[in-house]
Structure 1
């Protein structure tokens, strides 16, 4: 029988919206869309794509750390980007900085808006813990 391990950042949005940051089921970790929130759950860096991406990836690292996983075990990511044409180069740069030589599959969707005013990026992940760290 597979076990399920749930992880949360313990921010108000988790209970307000009724979701978890991540669920590990078997060898896979499904990570909810991460965004630019601080430890208290306050949204940071309105309209600043680079700063939001940096904070988003930092929040992702907290999820990965909880499970003892690394970026190299990310197999898939889905990015939601406001003003994709304007932010395409910054999206690519942030992705290269975060993953280095690792190349997970990636879907990038241009969207008209996200949850918070000034939010320009949100990223969800799938992680395979059987891959080398």
Structure 2
């Protein structure tokens, strides 16, 4: 059985500036090739524009709302929305409301700093 306890997973800051809690990752919990994390973007903050050359991402917004930039598209997102981020597509997200923006992030293959190219 592979399980992680939320309270036992220490958050860290990724290259894009978001605070991440890796809930399942090859280095945390023992998944083989993907990662599942909770990202938090504080009120009035945004992630740095970036892209991943080796990982596809899925964002699921659990709390709050904001503005997502995905390639040349800019659109609003809020709790309940799901966004697919294809390989190599530049992206960032900004918290534009009065509460924390929380996102569940799935990456396949698993997230790594080395696969994150900052664009700003």
TM over 0.5: no
Q: TM-score, length-normalised on structure 2? A: 0.38
Structure with greater proportional helix content: 1
Q: TM-score, length-normalised on structure 1? A: 0.36
From the CA coordinates, give the structure whose radius of gyration is larger.
1
